[in-house]
């Protein structure tokens, strides 16, 4: 007889939210995690430590670059990097302990060790001391997450000069120079942290644009803003190799379009060219599951091709985002419990937590053009938003895209102050099948930056009030 209703392999946002929901629904659940702490990539080496450094470095930069002085606050900041790292570590520790507490509260058993599927309904867990324990269960949820994609010809050594995101979250000193390979979310967030603290940052990107997949108008505007902040970009550049001489890293690259190779030197190189699903040692072969490039693929609603084996989060297809993993976790467990779990993949927001922030949801203008859908655009610059103006944060704009016939909101894209928080309003409107007129006619508090969203929605209707 099975000891458990469900065993979840992986303790990240996918895994711990699945475990919590299982406990809430009265299922007997266990969560297996090998890294020694719950919280996964997100809490330990992802979302949370990166946001801790983004928050702290933003204040440092504001003090150092004259923003505070402009407000009449004259200070000469002195960086204490050890303290900045310590407060980050403390917050991470508190969060991971918090997840342990949530497991206890919901009567979920936390099994420490690396889990391996050993045939249907069986998970073998190897503890740190080498001992093994078999868990028998009705359902297995795979939530093993992702790992950095390696760059051919480049060896990442987080103790040396060539690092991935995990290394870049804990550099021992502020580099004079940092090369970031990959103009994606990690590169621009962590590049921002170190630029603010004093590094000269050069971003090398294979494509001829930053943030592929993001609305092009937003990405181009964002690149200009980052350029003003001091970021240097080498777009359309192919990295052919990298070496670490102990003191510096050397990167060789050549134009993708052909041309002369060049060599760049920097104190550190951060490789951030994407992440890939993690299934190493998981024993998928024992149940006949073969992952592809997107990971373990669900045939239908988080169900793999094998009865009783489910998959959620970064290790399966879709955007590699914590909130996507969390939503899949809840839906998956609800389905296991015989309820109607569901995730709306058309409304998964994406945010880049730089200054200013970038926030997107729904279809981009590029996608609408490509699919031939007739749409209307409303746009509003933060330069014309009174709160942004009074706060001297006028870079950026909001763009709302709506169906030309029905006015239903199809997407919204923004670069500007606090847009990461503000995009949730559009998510709710879209979830309710709302139109741009619905948002335009909704009273918004004044003076807030959220008025820029309302004004952009009014713009779709052609009656923006301020400009």
Q: Where does this chain bind ligand FAD (CB under 6 A)?
A: 9-15, 32-35, 40-42, 46-47, 50, 114-115, 143-146, 165, 186, 278, 281-282, 313-315, 320-323, 325, 353
Please choose which of ligand NAI, ligand FAD, none residue 40 contacts, taking the beta carbon within 5 to 8 angstroms, the exact cut-off set by kind: ligand FAD
Please choose which of ligand FAD, ligand NAI, none residue 398 contacts, taking the beta carbon within 5 to 8 angstroms, the exact cut-off set by kind: none
Query: Residue 443 Cβ, how far from ligand NAI at the closest point, in Å?
Result: 30
Nearest to 225 by CA among 188, 194, 193: 188
Nearest to 362 by CA among 462, 182, 218, 208: 218
Please choose which of ligand NAI, ligand FAD, none residue 15 contacts, taking the beta carbon within 5 to 8 angstroms, the exact cut-off set by kind: ligand FAD
Could you confirm whether 413 is annotated as catalytic?
A: no
Residue 393 assigned ligand-binding role: no
Do 375 and 403 meet the contact criterion of CB atoms below 8 Å apart?
yes
Query: Residue 422 Cβ, how far from ligand FAD at the closest point, in Å?
Result: 16
Select 32 or 221, whichever has its Cβ closest to ligand FAD: 32
Residue 312 assigned ligand-binding role: no
Which residues contact residue 204 at a Cβ distance below 8 angstroms, ignoring those fewer than 6 apart? 179, 180, 181, 182, 183, 234, 237, 239, 251, 253, 264
What Å distances lie between residue 151 and 98, 238, 240, 268, CA to CA? 35, 11, 9, 16
Select 112 or 408, whichever has its Cβ closest to ligand FAD: 112
Tokens 């967030």: give the residue. 189
Select 12 or 23, whichever has its Cβ closest to ligand FAD: 12
Select 163 or 273, whichever has its Cβ closest to ligand NAI: 273
Please choose which of ligand FAD, ligand NAI, none residue 151 contacts, taking the beta carbon within 5 to 8 angstroms, the exact cut-off set by kind: ligand NAI
Tell me the C-alpha distance between 195 and 378, whole Å.
Answer: 33
Q: Angle at the Cα of 275 (from 303 to 125), degrees rounded to 5?
A: 55
Query: Residue 11 Cβ, how far from ligand FAD at the closest point, in Å?
Result: 5
Residue 413 assigned ligand-binding role: no
Catalytic hit among 301, 392, 413, 446? 446
Which residue sits closest to ligand NAI, CB atoms considered?
184
What Å distances lie between residue 377 and 277, 335, 409, 460, CA to CA? 36, 38, 10, 5
Tell me which residues touch ligand NAI (CB under 6 A). Answer: 151, 181-187, 189, 204-207, 212, 239, 272-275, 319-321, 351-353
Tell me the C-alpha distance between 79 and 194, whole Å.
Answer: 12
Please choose which of ligand NAI, ligand FAD, none residue 195 contacts, taking the beta carbon within 5 to 8 angstroms, the exact cut-off set by kind: none
Select 20 or 146, whichever has its Cβ closest to ligand FAD: 146
Structure tokens given for 182 = 């990959």
Structure tokens given for 165 = 């995101």
Residue 374 assigned ligand-binding role: no
Please choose which of ligand NAI, ligand FAD, none residue 13 contacts, taking the beta carbon within 5 to 8 angstroms, the exact cut-off set by kind: ligand FAD
Select 9 or 42, whichever has its Cβ closest to ligand NAI: 42
Do 312 and 12 meet the contact criterion of CB atoms below 8 Å apart?
no
| Distance from the Cα of residue 207 to its chain's centroid | 20
Tell me the C-alpha distance between 175 and 199, whole Å.
Answer: 5
Tell me the C-alpha distance between 421 and 246, whole Å.
Answer: 41
Residue 189 assigned ligand-binding role: yes
Query: Residue 81 Cβ, how far from ligand FAD at the closest point, in Å?
Result: 18
Query: Residue 464 Cβ, how far from ligand FAD at the closest point, in Å?
Result: 31
Which residues contact residue 19 at a Cβ distance below 8 angstroms, ignoring those fewer than 6 apart? 8, 29, 30, 31, 103, 106, 108
Residue 165 assigned ligand-binding role: no
Do 29 and 108 meet the contact criterion of CB atoms below 8 Å apart?
yes
Where in the sequence numbering do the catalytic residues fall? 446
Annotated binding site for NAD(+): 182-189, 205, 274
Annotated binding site: 51, 115, 144-146, 182-189, 205, 274, 314, 320-323
């Amino acid at each position: 007889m099975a000891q458990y209703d469900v065993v979840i392999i992986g303790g990240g946002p996918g895994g711990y939210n699945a475990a919590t929901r299982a406990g809430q629904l009265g299922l007997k659940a266990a969560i297996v995690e090998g890294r020694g702490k719950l919280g996964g990539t997100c809490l330990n080496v992802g979302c949370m430590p990166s946001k801790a450094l983004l928050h702290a470095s933003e204040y440092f930069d504001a003090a150092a670059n004259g923003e505070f002085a402009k407000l009449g606050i004259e200070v000469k900041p002195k960086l204490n990097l050890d303290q900045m790292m310590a407060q980050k570590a403390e917050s991470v520790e508190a969060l991971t302990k918090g997840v342990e507490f949530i497991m206890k509260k919901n009567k979920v058993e936390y099994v420490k060790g690396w889990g391996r599927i050993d045939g249907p309904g069986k998970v073998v867990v190897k503890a740190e001391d080498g001992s093994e324990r078999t868990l028998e269960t009705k359902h297995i949820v795979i939530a093993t997450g992702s790992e950095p994609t390696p760059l051919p010809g480049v060896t990442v050594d987080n103790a040396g000069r060539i690092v991935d995101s995990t290394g870049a979250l804990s550099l021992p000193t502020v580099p004079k120079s940092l090369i970031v390979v990959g103009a994606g979310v990690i590169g621009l967030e962590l590049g921002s942290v170190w630029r603010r603290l004093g590094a000269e940052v050069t971003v090398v990107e294979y494509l001829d644009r930053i943030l592929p997949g993001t609305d092009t108008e937003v990405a181009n505007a964002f690149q200009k803003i980052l350029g003003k902040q001091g970021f240097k970009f080498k777009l359309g550049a192919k990295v052919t190799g990298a070496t670490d001489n102990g003191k510096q890293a050397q990167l060789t690259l050549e134009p993708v379009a052909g041309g002369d190779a060049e060599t760049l030197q920097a104190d550190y190189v951060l490789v951030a060219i994407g992440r890939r699903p993690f299934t190493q040692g998981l024993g998928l072969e024992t149940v006949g599951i073969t992952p592809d490039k997107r990971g373990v693929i669900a045939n239908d609603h988080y169900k793999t091709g094998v009865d009783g084996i489910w998959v959620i989060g970064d290790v399966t297809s879709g955007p590699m985002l914590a909130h996507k993993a969390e939503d899949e976790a809840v839906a998956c467990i609800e389905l296991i419990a015989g309820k109607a779990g569901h995730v709306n993949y058309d409304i998964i927001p994406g945010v880049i937590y730089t200054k200013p922030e970038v926030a997107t949801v729904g279809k981009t203008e590029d996608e609408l053009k490509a699919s031939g859908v007739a749409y209307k655009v409303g746009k509003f610059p933060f330069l014309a938003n009174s709160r942004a103006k009074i706060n001297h944060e006028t870079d950026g704009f909001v763009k709302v895209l709506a169906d030309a016939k029905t006015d239903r909101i199809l997407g919204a894209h923004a670069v500007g102050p606090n847009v990461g928080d503000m995009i949730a309003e559009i998510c709710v409107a879209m979830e309710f099948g709302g139109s741009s007129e619905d948002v335009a006619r909704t009273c918004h508090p004044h003076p807030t930056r959220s008025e820029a969203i309302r004004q952009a929605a009014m713009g779709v209707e052609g009656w923006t009030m301020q400009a």
